[in-house]
A and B are shown apart, each in its own frame.
Chain A
Amino acid sequence: MSLARLWTIARLELLQRVRTVSWYVLLGVFALLLIGATFLSFLSFGGQEQSGPGVYSTVVYITLLLVILVSPTLSGNSINGDRDAATLAPVQVTLATTGEILLGKFVAAWITGLAFALVAAPFLVIATLAGGGVHPATVAVSLLVLIAEIGVIAAIGVALSGILARPLFSVATTYLIVAALAVGTVIGFGLIGSSIVSEGKVSERSAVYGDNGPECKDGSTTCWDDPENIVCDEWVTYTQPVMRFDRVWWLLAANPFVILADATPTQLDRSGNPEDVFGYLKLGVRQTQIAPDLEYTWDECSQMAEERYPTPKEILAQTVPSWFVGLGVQLLLAAGLLVWAYARTRTPARSLPPGTRIA
């Protein structure tokens, strides 16, 4: 593995990209979108004590979303597109090895994706400075995860372009895989979670009501605030289905947006609520880990303990983080695809993907 040759290949890719006008148009459109999004986030989070965390996390999410939307087109044809243009074989015949070609193209695709993050950087700075209150740990971790996610998508695109022969097909497949992670996990979570059903037992007993409110054991009509004295009906028990999202919450672990939320340390505000969008998403996902109560009792004739919901802090403390599992799965997927692409692109070629020629 020669770093000089690897970088020569990456540089070659980048050089061709920066010399096309459409690339700058794309970055310009992206900047315009961010201007709008940042402005609206300031309006939206303006009511909060400090708008920084909310605006910052929104801009990071929009950056991730746009990279997910654009990156497959930029990386998903890097190898088979070169083969179609007859520029792959002249590189393969040099001392550059298959590994250097693959990794060089991967590095180039990663840097290309990072260019979008770079365009977003001024807006992140504006959110931090103008909004105030953004925690350094939030910035550090969310940016690291964003960079890693951009790399994963770039690797998947480059690998698929080496595995599949037709550029159009590999770009579409890259979109499908990325969509499976970003949207498919959510759909799977919803559909599977709502079809796994447990039997919940409900027991309830209510007071016997007369004309003037509940009937009382002592015949009076003023026992409404004294459950001990209320005449009670029989206990009624029945079952009702309870959806078990706690069995499929892990499906969300591989979702890029969830990984970003789950990894970033959550800061809680004075009333105990998350400060940013990351925190709210993290809280929502973590909550699904908690198994629902299968026995539910409702008794009008006894002093019920006041129903108490766990605070965000308690939820975060009693549930487990999953981002490293999700990121690990994504890294394995990307690495596996790259290995497959290596086998498909290796020269001297023994078997060629159907419908391709070397040159």
Chain B
Amino acid sequence: MTTPGIVARGVRRSFGNVHAVRDVSLEAREGAVTGLVGPNGSGKTTLLLMLASLLAPDAGEVRIGGVDPVADPAAARALLGWMPDSLGAWASLSARETIVTTGRLYDLDRRVAEDRAAQLLNEVGLADLGDAPARVLSRGQKQRLGLARALVHDPRVLLLDEPASGLDPQARIDLRQLLRRLAADGRTILISSHILSELEEVVDDAVFLVQGATVSSERVAEAATRTRTWRIRLADRDATASVLPVAQALGVDAALVPIDRRDILIGFASDADAAAGLAALIGAGLPVAEFSAATGLLEHTFLDLEGGAR
């Protein structure tokens, strides 16, 4: 039985007359990575600040591992690790000192904090730069330092605001593996990102945030089942020459089939339709080299929801 590591119910927060978060309800399971998806200004960072015990909600309630961060911030802080989107680093401290200092602020002994720093520097791939001052780190390296800092006290709940921004492809793969491993240990991970294709590969669940409110699961399911576009490429001819045979095999009007670089694009209403379409193409003897969804499911849902909100 998995219990929710993060619960928010009816959370609301405004700054003056800017209603940053209007109505957010979400649950993030233990042992899973939950994605927080929403356009710029949808209230993701404000929501994470409330979950991180830095901002009090105007209404509604928040629980981090069962603890109310407004009533007992110290207990909530012991449980949670937070990585902010704007990453400030103490410019003249080295990465190692940064992690040790943060560990000391979490009441770790100096010795324990030093061991922990060495371990985390390895984990996030900063071992070589451990003693360089933070000001010489690149954006991606600072990002990794921020992650290490959030992990120093081995928190049960992780709140990561855009952790992948600025990371190179290898670092993203490392991050993905690290997050999967942390989740496998039974931690609750909530991660916000704009890079939906990245998110797609790491999240178990997704929460959609549009204009400060979470989108209901019915609405998400509806958006997810709407027509998606697929990319098709034939092995023996270019896209222009492929249009006619493909359109004939699928029984669609060739004049309505768009071309995108080497591929042609065909819409299918559901996965079943797509499977049937592929069978029809193979059946017609066409050499199908590529047959894939043009957008990930998250991206598809996101774009649909955002379009619907306007």
**How many residues does chain B have at the interface if contact means C-beta atoms less than 8 Å apart?**
38
How far does the alpha carbon of A89 sit from the alpha carbon of B150 in the complex, in Å?
Answer: 12
B91: A residues at CB distance < 8 A: 16
A16: B residues at CB distance < 8 A: 90-93
B107: A residues at CB distance < 8 A: 2, 4-5, 95
CB pair B104 A5 closer than 8 Å? yes
Among A15, A86, A92, A359, point to the contact of B92 (Cβ < 8 A). Answer: A15
How far does the alpha carbon of A142 sit from the alpha carbon of B87 in the complex, in Å?
Answer: 45
A93-B101 contact given A16-B92, A20-B92, A352-B15, CB 8 Å threshold: no
A93-B74 contact given A2-B107, A19-B92, CB 8 Å threshold: no
* A150-158, A203-211, A298-306, A343-351 - the one binding chain B: A343-351
Among A4, A87, A93, point to the contact of B52 (Cβ < 8 A). Answer: A93
How far does the alpha carbon of A118 sit from the alpha carbon of B146 in the complex, in Å?
Answer: 37
Interface 1/0 per residue, B79-100 and A, CB below 8 Å: 0101011111111110001000
Q: Does A97 contact B (CB under 8 A)?
A: yes
Q: Does A115 contact B (CB under 8 A)?
A: no
Q: Does A73 contact B (CB under 8 A)?
A: no
* B53-61, B202-210, B288-296 - the one binding chain A: B53-61
CB pair A87 B88 closer than 8 Å? yes
A40: B residues at CB distance < 8 A: none
A-B contact count (CB 8 A): 90
State which size class the interface on A falls in. 20 to 34
Give the shortest distance, in Å, between B124 (CB) and chain A (any CB).
16
CB pair A93 B93 closer than 8 Å? no
CB pair B15 A359 closer than 8 Å? no
A92: B residues at CB distance < 8 A: 54
B84: A residues at CB distance < 8 A: 86, 89-90, 359
Interface 1/0 per residue, A98-134 and B, CB below 8 Å: 0000000000000000000000000000000000000
Q: Does A91 contact B (CB under 8 A)?
A: yes
Q: Does A96 contact B (CB under 8 A)?
A: yes
Give the shortest distance, in Å, between B69 (CB) and chain A (any CB).
6
CB pair A8 B92 closer than 8 Å? no
Q: Does A358 contact B (CB under 8 A)?
A: yes
How far does the alpha carbon of A113 sit from the alpha carbon of B93 in the complex, in Å?
Answer: 22
How far does the alpha carbon of A90 sit from the alpha carbon of B153 in the complex, in Å?
Answer: 13
CB pair A347 B73 closer than 8 Å? yes
B102: A residues at CB distance < 8 A: 90, 94
Q: Does B275 contact A (CB under 8 A)?
A: no
Among B54, B74, B77, B101, point to the contact of A12 (Cβ < 8 A). Answer: B101
Among A11, A20, A91, A347, point to the contact of B53 (Cβ < 8 A). Answer: A347
How far does the alpha carbon of A350 sit from the alpha carbon of B49 in the complex, in Å?
Answer: 12
How far does the alpha carbon of A16 sit from the alpha carbon of B89 in the complex, in Å?
Answer: 11
Interface centre among A85, A86, A92, A94 (most CB of B within 10 A): A94
CB pair B106 A94 closer than 8 Å? yes
Provide a sorted-by-A list of 24 A–B residue pairs whose CB atoms are within 8 angstroms: A5-B104, A5-B105, A5-B107, A9-B105, A16-B92, A16-B93, A19-B133, A86-B88, A90-B149, A93-B53, A93-B77, A93-B80, A94-B77, A94-B105, A94-B153, A95-B105, A347-B54, A348-B50, A348-B70, A349-B54, A358-B54, A358-B55, A359-B45, A359-B49
- The 9 A-B pairs of least Cβ separation, nearest first, read A86-B88, A94-B105, A87-B88, A348-B56, A19-B92, A8-B104, A86-B86, A359-B84, A96-B105
